[in-house]
Amino acid sequence: MRRTLLAALLLASAAPAPAETIVVTADRMVDVLAGRIIEDPVIVVTDGRIAAVGTAGAQQPSIRQDWKRIDLPGKTLLPGLIDMHVHLDSPADIGGYRGLEYTDSFWAMTAVGHARSMLDAGFTTVRNVGSSYRNDVGLKQAVDNGYAAGPRIVPAGHALGATGGHCDSTFLPPSLEKPDKEEGVGDGPLELRHQVRRQRKYGAEVIKVCATGGVFSRNTEPGQQQLSEEELRAIAEEAHQWGLRVAAHAHGAAGIKAAIRAGIDTIEHASLIDAEGIRLAKERGTWLVMDIYNTEYTQAEGAKNGVLEDNLRKDREIAQLQRDNFRAAHRAGVKMAFGTDAGVMPHKTAGGQFRWMVEYGMSPMEAIQSATRNAAQALGRERDVGAIAVGRWGDLIAVDGDPLADVRVLEDVDVVIKGGELVRND
Ligand SMILES: [Zn+2]
């Protein structure tokens, strides 16, 4: 019986399915690697990966008549966008204690819809930085196996943090704690190394750690450092040993600097980064992922959604400082990647951050590169995503108009192609 099955498998693998090839054309394409526009692009995608990139006319790749075509006259093509900081299992309109109205599996169910929303908004890759019950790992498996539509997901599993810190559960009394309350929580290098190994064992492809307090937890302050440099270093070393990168939530200047010195790869929020932190990030090549878009939503809708006044207060205190520090860090030449904290604001609006990045100092091309080329580098996945280039996945989006003249055209993506498959066409 077993031998028959093996023989059948061998037979199946000996006769591969014929390659499926599509050809995509448009009026213009943003070449994020060269930082320029290419007119009349012709892109060939075979079995999901980009096989050729050329232009109509003399440089046209050879095309067979029987290949499927996606012609997008009048449109501008870009690589599929990447959001480095999302929470897919977090509905933006449920805040504070309103979360207690829902059963445990509710959050994973909402993640399915949020994944579809982000894909429709042009995000073909997202890094999910922490979720309860490993909802992100399960969702990634569902998407990869065709049970749900969504971006490529880089899951973190549970976020790591100190007891009582931002990534511990801080809304409930001890007698009402969640069954998974100990997940991700560790005190001291040894416990935190264990948590790195545990998250990786159960599917994490990046490690998320909370180095400082945060806005939406109770009894923590954004400026407060919550893990020692020694603890952060243990996490970074352990993750790197296993081939994983580390994202550190860090608002306060001291926590940011400790995380950079510890060898953390990406600093999330970086709201209160000071001149020394900027210098250190530049020196060490540390990425900043600054979510400078979501405050308007939080301030306008938060109270209605159940967010507590103390959380709204913290957001108000740091929002403008974060935008000013974004400008300073960009001006100093620190490496920046695009991350919105989607879930704090509605997932489908993630493209709304581009205009703020331009308002606070980036050129439209730099803002687009932060969500494509740079994000792919920060993920360590530049062979797979982040540019329209031979060998990478055929993840493409198309918009009307010129995103270099007005980056806000990225708030309304018309066409989304993921792995050579048309998943949205308005
Ligand atoms: Zn977050």
For the stretch 277-281, contacts whose Cβ atoms lie closer than 8 Å and that sit 24 or more positions apart, written own/partner, are 277/253, 278/325, 278/328, 278/329, 278/332, 278/334, 279/332, 281/329, 281/334, 281/335
The residues whose Cβ lies within 5 A of ligand 1, an ion, are 341
Q: Per the structure block, which two tokens stand in for 84? A: 């480095």
DSSP three-state, residue 82: strand
- If you measure from the C-alpha of residue 266 to the centroid of ligand 1, how many angstroms do you get, rounded to a whole number? 13
Contact between residue 360 and residue 321 where contact means Cβ atoms under 8 Å apart: no
Instruction: Find all residues with CB under 8 Å of 229, minimum gap 6, and list them.
Output: 258, 261, 262
Q: pLDDT tens digit string along 325-337? A: 999 999 999 999 9
- If you measure from the C-alpha of residue 21 to the centroid of ligand 1, how many angstroms do you get, rounded to a whole number? 38
> What's the whole-model pTM score?
0.95
- If you measure from the C-alpha of residue 399 to the centroid of ligand 1, how many angstroms do you get, rounded to a whole number? 28
- If you measure from the C-alpha of residue 271 to the centroid of ligand 1, how many angstroms do you get, rounded to a whole number? 13
- If you measure from the C-alpha of residue 131 to the centroid of ligand 1, how many angstroms do you get, rounded to a whole number? 10
In single-letter form, the type of residue at position 281 comes to A
- If you measure from the C-alpha of residue 83 to the centroid of ligand 1, how many angstroms do you get, rounded to a whole number? 12
- If you measure from the C-alpha of residue 246 to the centroid of ligand 1, how many angstroms do you get, rounded to a whole number? 14
Q: pLDDT tens digit string along 8-56? A: 555 555 556 668 999 999 999 999 999 999 999 999 999 999 999 999 9
Sheet with 245-250, side-by-side order of all strands: 206-210, 245-250, 266-269, 287-289
Q: pLDDT tens digit string along 126-179? A: 999 999 999 999 999 999 999 999 999 999 999 999 999 999 988 999 888 877
- If you measure from the C-alpha of residue 223 to the centroid of ligand 1, how many angstroms do you get, rounded to a whole number? 16
- If you measure from the C-alpha of residue 361 to the centroid of ligand 1, how many angstroms do you get, rounded to a whole number? 23
- If you measure from the C-alpha of residue 130 to the centroid of ligand 1, how many angstroms do you get, rounded to a whole number? 8
Residue 2 binned pLDDT confidence (cut-offs 50, 70, 90): low
- If you measure from the C-alpha of residue 355 to the centroid of ligand 1, how many angstroms do you get, rounded to a whole number? 20
- If you measure from the C-alpha of residue 393 to the centroid of ligand 1, how many angstroms do you get, rounded to a whole number? 27
Share the mean pLDDT of the chain: 95
- If you measure from the C-alpha of residue 259 to the centroid of ligand 1, how many angstroms do you get, rounded to a whole number? 16
Residue 371 binned pLDDT confidence (cut-offs 50, 70, 90): very high
- If you measure from the C-alpha of residue 116 to the centroid of ligand 1, how many angstroms do you get, rounded to a whole number? 19
Residue 416 binned pLDDT confidence (cut-offs 50, 70, 90): very high
- If you measure from the C-alpha of residue 22 to the centroid of ligand 1, how many angstroms do you get, rounded to a whole number? 37
- If you measure from the C-alpha of residue 87 to the centroid of ligand 1, how many angstroms do you get, rounded to a whole number? 6
- If you measure from the C-alpha of residue 263 to the centroid of ligand 1, how many angstroms do you get, rounded to a whole number? 20
- If you measure from the C-alpha of residue 369 to the centroid of ligand 1, how many angstroms do you get, rounded to a whole number? 21
d(CA 299, CA 75): 35
- If you measure from the C-alpha of residue 422 to the centroid of ligand 1, how many angstroms do you get, rounded to a whole number? 30
- If you measure from the C-alpha of residue 109 to the centroid of ligand 1, how many angstroms do you get, rounded to a whole number? 19
- 169-179 residues labelled b (16+ CB within 10 A) or e (exposed): bbbeeeeeeee
Mean predicted confidence (pLDDT) in 353-380: 98
- The pLDDT assigned to 402 comes to 95
- If you measure from the C-alpha of residue 268 to the centroid of ligand 1, how many angstroms do you get, rounded to a whole number? 8
Q: pLDDT tens digit string along 93-121? A: 999 999 999 999 999 999 999 999 999 99
- If you measure from the C-alpha of residue 249 to the centroid of ligand 1, how many angstroms do you get, rounded to a whole number? 7
d(CA 239, CA 82): 22
- The pLDDT assigned to 1 comes to 46
Contact between residue 345 and residue 293 where contact means Cβ atoms under 8 Å apart: yes
- If you measure from the C-alpha of residue 416 to the centroid of ligand 1, how many angstroms do you get, rounded to a whole number? 25
Q: pLDDT tens digit string along 304-315? A: 999 999 999 999
Instruction: Find all residues with CB under 8 Å of 370, minimum gap 6, and list them.
Output: 336, 337, 338, 357, 362
182 pLDDT exceeds 50?
yes
- The pLDDT assigned to 7 comes to 53
- The pLDDT assigned to 59 comes to 78
What is the percent of the chain where pLDDT is above 70?
A: 96
d(CA 173, CA 41): 59
- If you measure from the C-alpha of residue 382 to the centroid of ligand 1, how many angstroms do you get, rounded to a whole number? 23
- If you measure from the C-alpha of residue 215 to the centroid of ligand 1, how many angstroms do you get, rounded to a whole number? 10
- The pLDDT assigned to 8 comes to 53
Q: pLDDT tens digit string along 198-245? A: 999 999 999 999 999 999 999 999 999 999 999 999 999 999 999 999
- If you measure from the C-alpha of residue 188 to the centroid of ligand 1, how many angstroms do you get, rounded to a whole number? 23
- If you measure from the C-alpha of residue 64 to the centroid of ligand 1, how many angstroms do you get, rounded to a whole number? 46
Residue 338 binned pLDDT confidence (cut-offs 50, 70, 90): very high
